Structure 1
């Protein structure tokens, strides 16, 4: 019996495995890793359970956190190698020492893109529905509710269903819970809460104003009933989460939307303790999962829902086909199935058909949404006659600068120019609004757009650059530098005269702090040589649009009738946000709310 250590490089830093062995069997194993490795930690915790159950390292990396769990396995194997005399103690802790490869995939769901070219492949696992008699004997397992996906929407539906006494099963495609919610900051919009009153100057904000902002931002393309229902429910959802232990300690606002009245803007983005940064959405997921499991709910990992089951006579949805441990099972859902698998993020075929901006992003941007978001729920919803709604637009932002991601970080003196050297958007407008314009201009001129700023710009509040990082980005080729406008125009391949005119026009009014062309308010200062340019490339957090739903999250057909037994929530649902993403915290607000509405309606259905 003995204790041995091994160390390997994880995504966020070194991972140390401590293995306790007795006669060659693992009786205890622990991990030391960076506390900020939130998503990796979910996978490692699952792996620890697997290893201690099997008492050996004959386990696979956990999908959804493959990079982190592969690194942990390497560290654990080095520890075991010490016990076998194959490595020395110091060698096992040396990051430069490796054992022979085990062909693990070093891919993490946070950083990997699933498709890197415009192959028009349908990556969904969804299949056509099957028809069965509504009798338990035709099914392998029986539940009241089956939920596809364990992100914020799926878990919120599950918590409400389980609290209502319903026998509930979550089927998660990946090896860890959370989906794309994991990679978010977990921030949530709501108006009129006690937190908003205590932490901001907005003492008289209301859900009515919040709804009016969202409706206006929807440009006439959103379902106003869904938007109003969300705005009115959002404050209650904040309290619901607080009851589960989330401590909301910060409230701030999103950057402006140019055509929305100023008095409709307010600080509404609620951030819980230790949240806000990418990857801290796991804290929200863990709170929901803890409550769900405390109420007796079941969850299966590496268990995708691949199809719906309809009753032969009525065609209502009565179950789901799932893949579990190499088997295809028919699972009955006495009350209903909830689709919570996000939108078409990593599905080129569906994106090309339904969301051109997402289709462009698949090949040209960094995708941070879960690679398991392949439109499965949308395919399954459409397969039984469900209508789609709100398709178009993405949650796009500048990953290098974070420009206009909230109202706390001002936009520096910079401008965006298109392929003909002209400005085209208000640069301090909320991030996805101006990234929609970036996409449109790129398509219009078949040429990239550029962010242009001067050397003095990086000294302004909100700058993402220091002198050192500026030099590093020049070295890497991310930035282009020129001492004259003429030289810059040649480097970025835009008409010289147009770029001269654009910068002269900007500087003429910037001296007075004005922007008559677009009404810019932040960073309105002159831009002077030397000049820097960076091609605009989006970082994508997901696409917008999904199944058409009502305010109970029931999926509707093309005639507006509810499909009995079928629900959709969050970004698997559409019509409540479209065109562009109106600001941080909107998505989490929607997924929590619509998940809860689905769960509550299922509980109500049982009592009818």
Structure 2
């Protein structure tokens, strides 16, 4: 809406935020702390978006938390690291702003709210390069007691059902081993009783367990902080269109449940944090590779509302450079009722010794122990090199029976029970072959190719080597492998049959493509100029890593830091000023009030 006359407003605020994920809620918290009136409009009936279903790891270099954890990290090292990973792909100014602001953003967020992190002492960057870190950069949200939210606990979007046990129990990674082997030791049994007992008591009052971890804990902590500080979150209120007057975004039209359309003036600007374009019906087809398909880990409601509204007023779209999406390989357990289970293969199986991934030719195509994003990029590249025939989409993870016993495979955790293994076979999730040829026939792939591949792999694996793809050569490979496997934690021969396989497909977990923005999160137009009054963060803002995936949490880190920068900039900008506002949101300046 490009208004040519005085707009009638139904209400007015200083900062209008669309989307209650990590980026949007951070922007709202910080802006409120700066003394301006904030309204958060959320399209759905719950906060969290992609954040709530994620692992919650937040990648921010150089924080004081890294020092507190005994693994001090350096912004200078991170700068060298990103220069080697991202190279000349662009976005240097925004990336530098992220590096400079990250430590201050995390410190202040922890100081002014109930958001709490702890730096992981061991959680390495995903790519090898100068300045790469083994620990300190990956920040994990501290577990949260959902009971503190009372009746509003239902407003926190649940995690993926595949990540909950017993129909609604979240399990911390540190508790996983105990719950998988409760009778292995007194300690395991005691911990299992504590976790399950708490969950049983929760279900007497709540629809799911209230012990929240990972991304669900982060989303809940942000929401709890907003509630404590009386920042309004208006649910089921999607963005309809932006209002632009004399070249400046001055507000937006929303559709509020039960109240119809409203025009809300935003004196300091509008922040777009609506989750990105992962499910936008046009932009997904336009930008995403054909081999990727429709599978997405983002909520169904992430249809690109924020990006779409900005494009209608001449905003610039960045295609994500190397990749429009950030990826995870996922297997699917089909259900008769249509409620399929989608399992992201993150760290529990792919990096472990004795697993290979093959394409339709029965050949390996990637280092199976690399990060989930790089694994899928290997899938997509292999398919493109084959003329777009989809040779590696889908791909198949091949193991022997001993592997399932030792590590599990996908939805099937470490398992010795023959009946449970058989149940996954019957469901069509786990494919079994007594011989490689039989397995290949069931998968519909080249049998001779698979047999050659396993023979070659086994010959090298017997020496702990992988000359084809160098598994175990990088720090992250070894970290996610099995330290007990010598000499290479990621390599061991595949034993005799029976053999098993699960099929994996590319699924996006977030966007790299999005609105082009500057160092302050201002959205740029197609001439490269900032659109006054319009900001973006989270997945609505193009990734500062340009389609690369440097380390764990490299979507949430920038979402939070740019939410912080947007809030600082908008709070200190003079209301009504047009054009680029030359203010540094990091340096302290007098607060301007309305």
TM-score (norm 1): 0.71
Measure, in 1, the Cα distance between the counterparts of 2:561 and 2:123: 20
In structure 1, the residue matched to 2:552 is 584
In structure 1, the residue matched to 2:234 is 300
Map 1:94-105 → 2, pairs under 5 A: none
Measure, in 2, the Cα distance between the counterparts of 1:496 and 1:461: 26
In structure 1, the residue matched to 2:494 is 527
In structure 2, the residue matched to 1:281 is 215
Q: How many residues are aligned here?
A: 468
Question: 1:396: how far off?
Answer: 1.8
Structure 1 residue 432 and structure 2 residue 432: aligned?
no
Structure 1 residue 454 and structure 2 residue 403: aligned?
no
Measure, in 2, the Cα distance between the counterparts of 1:236 and 1:470: 50
Match for residue 188 of structure 1 among 39, 58, 75: 58
In structure 1, the residue matched to 2:147 is none
Structure 1 residue 445 and structure 2 residue 389: aligned?
yes
Bigger CA drift: 597-606 or 347-356?
A: 347-356
Structure 1 residue 561 and structure 2 residue 529: aligned?
yes
Encode CA deviations 1:326-375: one digit per residue, 9 max, x unaligned.
41111111221111102112223220012236x8342xx3x332222110
Bigger CA drift: 290-299 or 342-351?
A: 290-299
Map 1:345-356 → 2, pairs under 5 A: 345-356=278-289
Q: 1:256 to 1:296 in 2, by over 3 A?
A: closer
Structure 1 residue 518 and structure 2 residue 469: aligned?
yes
Measure, in 2, the Cα distance between the counterparts of 1:284 and 1:570: 14
In structure 1, the residue matched to 2:185 is none
Q: 1:304 to 1:564 in 2, by over 3 A?
A: same
Q: Contact between 2:25 and 2:222, CA under 8 Å: does it hold in 1?
A: yes
In structure 2, the residue matched to 1:79 is none
Q: 1:455 to 1:589 in 2, by over 3 A?
A: same
Measure, in 2, the Cα distance between the counterparts of 1:145 and 1:432: 35
In structure 2, the residue matched to 1:17 is none
Q: 1:467 to 1:580 in 2, by over 3 A?
A: farther
Question: 1:413: how far off?
Answer: 1.6
Measure, in 2, the Cα distance between the counterparts of 1:198 and 1:234: 16
Measure, in 2, the Cα distance between the counterparts of 1:151 and 1:157: 10
In structure 1, the residue matched to 2:31 is 161
Question: 1:215: how far off?
Answer: 4.3
In structure 1, the residue matched to 2:538 is 570
In structure 2, the residue matched to 1:549 is 517
In structure 2, the residue matched to 1:476 is 427
Q: Contact between 1:215 and 1:222, CA under 8 Å: does it hold in 2?
A: no
In structure 1, the residue matched to 2:357 is 416
**Two-structure CA RMSD over aligned residues (Å):** 2.8
Encode CA deviations 1:77-119: one digit per residue, 9 max, x unaligned.
xxxxxxxxxxxxxxxxxxxxxxxxxxxxxxxxxxxxxxxxxxx
Q: 1:302 to 1:560 in 2, by over 3 A?
A: same
Question: 1:299: how far off?
Answer: 2.3
Which secondary structure state, in structure 2, belongs to the residue aligned with residue 567 of structure 1? strand
In structure 2, the residue matched to 1:110 is none
In structure 2, the residue matched to 1:131 is 3
Question: 1:222: how far off?
Answer: 4.7
Structure 1 residue 594 and structure 2 residue 562: aligned?
yes
Question: 1:295: how far off?
Answer: 4.5
In structure 2, the residue matched to 1:465 is 414
Q: Contact between 2:141 and 2:217, CA under 8 Å: does it hold in 1?
A: no
Q: Which has the higher contact order (CA 8 A, sep 6+)?
A: 2
Q: Contact between 2:328 and 2:344, CA under 8 Å: does it hold in 1?
A: no
Question: 1:513: how far off?
Answer: 0.7
Question: 1:470: how far off?
Answer: 3.3
In structure 1, the residue matched to 2:306 is 377
Encode CA deviations 1:299-322: one digit per residue, 9 max, x unaligned.
2111111101111xx221111011
Q: Contact between 1:132 and 1:310, CA under 8 Å: does it hold in 2?
A: no
Match for residue 455 of structure 2 among 504, 521, 524: 504
For structure 2, the residue ranges without an aligned partner over 5 or more in a row are 145-171, 174-211, 332-341, 473-488, 575-590
Question: 1:451: how far off?
Answer: 0.8
Question: 1:552: how far off?
Answer: 0.3
Q: Contact between 1:256 and 1:428, CA under 8 Å: does it hold in 2?
A: no
Q: Contact between 1:184 and 1:279, CA under 8 Å: does it hold in 2?
A: no
Structure 1 residue 173 and structure 2 residue 43: aligned?
yes
Q: Contact between 2:400 and 2:496, CA under 8 Å: does it hold in 1?
A: yes
In structure 2, the residue matched to 1:393 is 325
Question: 1:567: how far off?
Answer: 0.5
Which secondary structure state, in structure 1, belongs to the residue aligned with residue 120 of structure 2? strand
Q: Which has the larger radius of gyration?
A: 1
TM-score (norm 2): 0.72
Measure, in 2, the Cα distance between the counterparts of 1:220 and 1:396: 25
Measure, in 1, the Cα distance between the counterparts of 2:445 and 2:214: 41
